[in-house]
Structures are given as C-alpha cells and as structure tokens.
Amino acid sequence: MRLPPAVVSHTEEVLREVLRFTGPADGTLSRYFREHPRLGGRERGMIAESIYAVLRNKLVYTNFAESGTGPAMRRLVLLGLADVAGVEAISGLSPEETAWLERVIRVDREALQPQLKANLPEWLYRKLAQDVGEDGVIKMARVLNSPAPLDLRVNILKVSREEAIAELAKVPLQCELPPYAASALRIYKKPALQNLPIFKSGGIEVQDEGSQVLAQLVGARRGEMVVDFCAGAGGKTLALGAIMRNTGRLYAFDVSEKRLAKLKPRLARSGLSNVHPTVIAHENDAKVKRLAGKIDRVLVDAPCSGLGTLRRNPDVKWRMQPQAIAELNEKQFSILSGASRLVKPGGRLVYATCSILSEENEAIVERFLATHSAFQLVPVKQVLEEQGIPLEMENYLKLLPQVHNTDGFFAAVLERRQ
Ligand SMILES: C[S@@+](CC[C@H](N)C(=O)[O-])C[C@H]1O[C@@H](n2cnc3c(N)ncnc32)[C@H](O)[C@@H]1O
C-alpha cells in the first residue's frame, strides 16, 4: 500500500532535528508526534522506522546519497523509507528519484568496504576491532544494526509466567520464552502495552532479558538490605524488589531527581513497598556514608556509553565521542569506589554496564581490585550456578546481542572479605 505523500516531508523534518544530536532520538520523535496529533498510527510507525533505518545505516546511506540529486536530507529519508516499506510504497517521487532509488537499493551491501558495511563511526570501529577483530566487528555490527525484539519481565508478585502468557494471548500477542531469565517473555511486535490491563495492574514491565539476568546476579535475598546505587527509572530496582519478595529494604539511589520520579508510577503499579527512592548529590553523599558497612548487596549499574543498546538506540553511536568515554571511565571508577563503602563484610558489590567496550568494563573492575584490597572477584560462573542461570561464562558476565539475543551487558561480582 502507498504511503501518504506527507510521510516524506514529516520524516525529513524529524530527521533534520534528530541529526543535530542534541538529545536522544526517541525523545525527539515523541515530541514531534505530540506536536502533530493528527498523524495516524501507520504514518507514525513509518516515520519512526525510517528515522531508525537512517540512524542504523547512516554511513551507507550517505555514500549512496552522493550519487543522487536534490536535497541531501530528502535522499537519506527516501533511502530509509525504501528499506522499510519498498520503493513502490513512496509517493511523490520524480522519475529520476525512482530510477536512482531502484538502482542503489539493489547494491550488494555485503561487498562494501568493512567500515561502511559495519555502519559504525571510525573510532568505534577501530576500538571494537582491537577487542574482537575485523570479522568480529562485522558480525557484531550486523546484529547491533538490526531492530531488537521486545522483552517483558513478569512481576511474579502479581502473576505467574503462565498467567501472563494466557493474558497476552487474548490481545492477541504470541510470546516466546527466552532462555536465561526465569521471568522473561519475548514478543516480536510493538503493541501499545500501556493500554493493556496486565500492564496497568503491574503484571508486566518492559525489560531486556539481559537486564533481568543482571538483577538476578545481584543475588539479593528475602529480608536483606540492598542498594541499587544508580537506579534511574528503576528497571533493575523493580526486578530486585520482586526477587526480594517485597521484604527487607531496597534503597534506590540516583543523582537525578527526574529519573527517580519516573520510578514512582512504576513502583505504584508493581505493588512493591520495600523500595526507598533516595536522591543523592554524588557518590560520597552523607546519605551514603550513613549506611557504610551495613548493606548486603549493592548494585552499581553505572552511567556508560550505552553502546550495548544500539539495537534500540542507534543514535548513540553517532552521539558518543571517545572523549566522553574517557570522562565516563573516571565517573565509573569513582561511583564504584563510593558505593563499595556500603558493603558489609561478606557482602557483594555488582558492577554493571550496558557497554561493549572493555575500557568501561574489565578495565574499571581491574583498577578497582588493584586499589581496594578488601574486595575479591567472585567468578560469574559460580554466581550463575548459584542462581541456576544456563549461561556459559568465566570471570565476568558478557552478554552480546549477536550471541545471546539480548542487549550488550557486562557485570562483575565483587565480595568484601570477612
Ligand atoms: C545506566 S543508568 C541506570 C539504569 C537503571 N539502573 C535501570 O535499570 O533502568 C545510570 C544512572 O546512573 C545515574 N548516576 C550518574 N551519576 C551518579 C552518581 N554519582 N551516583 C548515583 N547515580 C548516578 C544516572 O542518573 C543514571 O540514572
């Protein structure tokens, strides 16, 4: 079916804004849709998908666009729409544009030079190639540049996984059971979840399976004192609260009042009453010092580049710069050190990121261990066995989209000696 001609101009307008990279692309899209309430569901879907296609394929599209005519932004949009809906679905094309699109859309992208094929900025391509080799980057990029399925976490305090599957089947939504997290469901559609009764009543939350595995790795138990140090909007807080069966005390710390505010409605839906959202000024805040040595489990889900989430946030690879990563590394080390003071003897500290770069992951943990002799590494292999999670790992948890079909996640478990 042909798309209304206005889809091209709307997509062009949004893309111009998105490519300024002044904020996350999903925020720009939501704002644009709020400001244009008359756009229908199909148009919105097409605009969003083509914007994401341009972000995923920007290098290749820019290369293809060199051979076309007319405004560069329009050429990028036409390539996005052609990939998402097919050339024949686009209205208002000139005969030259149709001929150009039909020609470039058939180019064998596998034959392009490696960095172009990977669609990554040069600095990132080089960094990843150092870690996983050139072939490895291409394989990784192929998956990082594809859309992700939608993972849900079933709130077992409210419904069982079977009940959730039956409830979603009525929508109708078919669920898969992903292999690693016991409360996870996977769907391959993008339904308006917030309208479903099971979502409104707190039976399900959106959460990548990898993020759920990470919450399990913390190993929080009933009645314990637990801190989610970088709680944000509380994705992992909610999972931890459920794992603790709504007992004990779970502090949700964050420096961002705005992010913690987003946790409030989710908490209300979840039925949890053991969570204490707390704004802290920084990692050495007096509120942190007061709890020093008292906490059983501390999760540091550190601020990071977010490069493990490229399937969902393809703009991150263009917005992130090497200098920003070096600054993040200092912050990561400082937050981990600050949070470590909370851990009581025999207690555990879990350092996690959604990054695929070793400098945000292993390097931070190694630096921490070299300067904090009270802590030792607990091999993740052991923790996965304790938790009954069927994943093959050694010292660290390293989830990769191209291997595990989750976002890219890293975690290390550290224990304070008795
Ligand atoms: C990766 S996000 C957390 C995501 C969250 N845990 C979740 O599962 O949805 C990192 C968070 O760290 C917070 N942050 C940054 N600096 C911090 C600090 N010094 N102390 C505590 N939190 C901090 C940010 O505001 C951000 O919300």
301 labeled part of a ligand binding site: yes
Q: From ligand 1's centre to the CA of 232, what distance in Å?
A: 5
Q: Which of 254, 259, 330 to mutate to test the pocket of ligand 1 (most atoms within 8 A of CB)?
A: 254
Q: Whose CA is nearest to atom 11 of ligand 1?
A: 230
Q: Whose CA is nearest to atom 15 of ligand 1?
A: 303
Residue with tokens 């937050």: 335
Band of pLDDT at residue 341, cut at 50, 70 and 90: very high
Share of the chain above pLDDT 70, in %: 100
Cβ proximity of 53 and 84 under 8 Å:
yes
Q: Is the beta carbon of 254 within 6 A of some atom in ligand 1?
A: yes
Residue 92's region, left for phi above 0, alpha for psi from -120 to 50, else beta, is left
Q: Whose CA is nearest to atom 3 of ligand 1?
A: 232
268 CB burial (10 A radius; 0-12, 13-18, 19+):
exposed
Instruction: From residue 189, give the alpha-carbon distance in Å to each of 82, 86, 149, 279.
Output: 21, 20, 7, 36
220-240: b (≥16 Cβ within 10 Å) or e: beeebbbbbbbbbbbbbbbbb
Q: From ligand 1's centre to the CA of 302, what distance in Å?
A: 6
Amino acid (one-letter) located at 32: Y
C-alpha closest to that of 243 among 288, 193, 207: 207
254 labeled part of a ligand binding site: yes
- The answer, yes or no, to whether residue 398 has pLDDT greater than 90, is yes
Q: Is the beta carbon of 278 within 6 A of some atom in ligand 1?
A: no
Q: Which of 226, 255, 336 to mutate to test the pocket of ligand 1 (most atoms within 8 A of CB)?
A: 255
Amino acid (one-letter) located at 348: R
The residue-averaged pLDDT of 83-103 equals: 95
Q: From ligand 1's centre to the CA of 320, what distance in Å?
A: 17
Tokens (6 digits) for 14 = 């949004």
Tokens (6 digits) for 274 = 């053991």
Residue 400's region, left for phi above 0, alpha for psi from -120 to 50, else beta, is beta
Backbone angles phi, psi at 176, to 5 degrees: -105, 155
Cβ proximity of 361 and 353 under 8 Å:
yes
Q: Whose CA is nearest to atom 6 of ligand 1?
A: 231
DSSP state of 379: P
Band of pLDDT at residue 25, cut at 50, 70 and 90: very high
Instruction: From residue 277, give the alpha-carbon distance in Å to each of 136, 252, 281, 392.
Output: 41, 4, 13, 34
- The answer, yes or no, to whether residue 46 has pLDDT greater than 90, is yes
Q: From ligand 1's centre to the CA of 261, what distance in Å?
A: 13
Give the number of other CB atoms < 10 A from CB of residue 129: 18
Q: Which of 206, 228, 230, 279 to mutate to test the pocket of ligand 1 (most atoms within 8 A of CB)?
A: 230
354 an active-site residue?
yes
Atom of ligand 1 nearest to the CA of 353: 1
Q: Whose CA is nearest to atom 25 of ligand 1?
A: 256
pLDDT at 362: 98
**What pLDDT digit, counting tens, does each position of 362-393 carry?**
999 999 999 999 999 999 999 999 999 999 99
**What pLDDT digit, counting tens, does each position of 133-168 carry?**
999 999 999 999 999 999 999 999 999 999 999 999
**Separation between Cα atoms, residue 315 and residue 271, nearest integer Å:** 34
Question: What three-state secondary structure class fits 253?
Answer: strand
Instruction: From residue 227, give the alpha-carbon distance in Å to each of 91, 94, 331.
Output: 54, 59, 18
Q: What would you report as the CA-atom Rg of the chain, rounded to the nearest whole angstrom?
A: 23
Q: From ligand 1's centre to the CA of 287, what distance in Å?
A: 16
Report DSSP letters for 75-132, one per residue: HHHHHHHHHHH-GGG--S--HHHHHHHHHHTTS-GGGS-HHHHHT--HHHHHHHHHHH
**What pLDDT digit, counting tens, does each position of 201-244 carry?**
999 999 999 999 999 999 999 999 999 999 999 999 999 999 99
C-alpha closest to that of 309 among 189, 401, 205: 401
DSSP state of 312: T
